[in-house]
Amino acid sequence: MHIYIDGEYFAQQDAKISVFDHGLLYGDGIFEGIRFYNGRVFRLQEHIKRLFISAKAILLEIGMTEAEITEAVCDTIQKNGLSDGYVRLLVTRGVGSLGLNPFACKKASIIIIADKIALYPEEKYQVGLKLVTCSIRRPAPDALSPSVKSLNYLNNVMAKVEAIQGNAEEGLMLNAQGYIAECTGDNIFVVRDGRVYTPPSAAGALPGITRDVIFEIAAQLNLELREADLTRYDIFAAEECFLTGTAAEVIAAVELDGRPIGNAKPGPVTERFIDAFRKLAGSEGHAIGQ
């Protein structure tokens, strides 16, 4: 494996950062997870744009242009000889002092990893996931904006621990008001009476790239999709539920807190979204060798 760090490539065992990097010391940085299929990077422009918006929000100067980052991502995939897989693109604040002051960091550090990924076993895409509600809440937007895809993921990690200890594959996270925000690593959608609903970003959900694709697919399938404040009851009462994310793609959820969702099987609307997403992801994107 060849890992990109600040313009150079290193073998996995040699890929290292400083112990004084603020990304390590404080989670001070941003990242993107990006998928590529059949030699094409899916929604690369959207991921790069979101990266730069996150950087602007936290006053992080990346030090490269969008075009240069795009080229580095594609070059890293090529160097690893991959046509299908996953990219983890990170920008840390860089080396600084042991103090919090981010301006002590003189230059950001850019890391790109390209590899294979399987977030859930293939059989889970056939039978669906079990969810549990986590006691860990999503931070309020005025504490840490969910729109910033930062390296500070301890909130999600601890919620994931709860899910695993609850014998579930994913954890449902609520906001401070008790409305559904998202899952530990995925956006969430429910289907009821032929309509599709998802929490708004203001509820604490990351504005996901795959989430945006679902809006596009819904329009193509002539399905009504609305943003709405949702509670756990809305999932209990739903006919179907599914999750979306770059790594997860689109996957059904069939149980929440021991209660079956619908008939406890992936539903027909969910299956339409899965099929449409896979066709789209497999046929469009930024050519790696471009």
pLDDT (0 to 100) of residue 146: 87
Which residues have CB under 8 Å from 68's CB, separation 6+?
A: none
**Residue extent(s) of CATH 3.20.10.10 domains in the chain:** 122-281
Which residues have CB under 8 Å from 240's CB, separation 6+?
A: 190, 191, 252, 261, 262, 266, 267, 268, 269, 270
Mean pLDDT by 10 residues, the chain (290 residues): 97 96 97 97 97 97 97 97 97 96 96 92 94 95 89 95 97 96 97 96 90 97 97 98 96 98 97 97 89
Task: Tally the C-alpha atoms within 13 A of residue 18's C-alpha that lie toward its C-beta.
Answer: 16
d(CA 227, CA 234): 13
Amino acid code (one letter) for 262: G
**Residue extent(s) of CATH 3.30.470.10 domains in the chain:** 2-115
Cβ atoms of 128 and 254 within 8 Å: the answer is yes
Distance of CA 47 to the CA centre of its chain: 10
pLDDT (0 to 100) of residue 290: 64
pLDDT (0 to 100) of residue 82: 96
Active site members: 149
Helix, strand, coil shares of the chain, percent, nearest 5, are 30, 30, 40
pLDDT (0 to 100) of residue 95: 97
Local structure of 239: helix, strand or coil: coil
Residue 102: Cβ-neighbour burial (10 angstroms; 0-12, 13-18, 19+): middle
Other C-beta atoms lying within 10 Å of the C-beta of residue 125 = 16
For the domain spanning 122-281, the CATH number is: 3.20.10.10
219-254 CB burial, b ≥16 within 10 A, e <16: eeeebebeeeebebebbeebbbbbbbbbbbbbbbbb
Fold of 2-115: D-amino Acid Aminotransferase; Chain A, domain 1 (3.30.470)
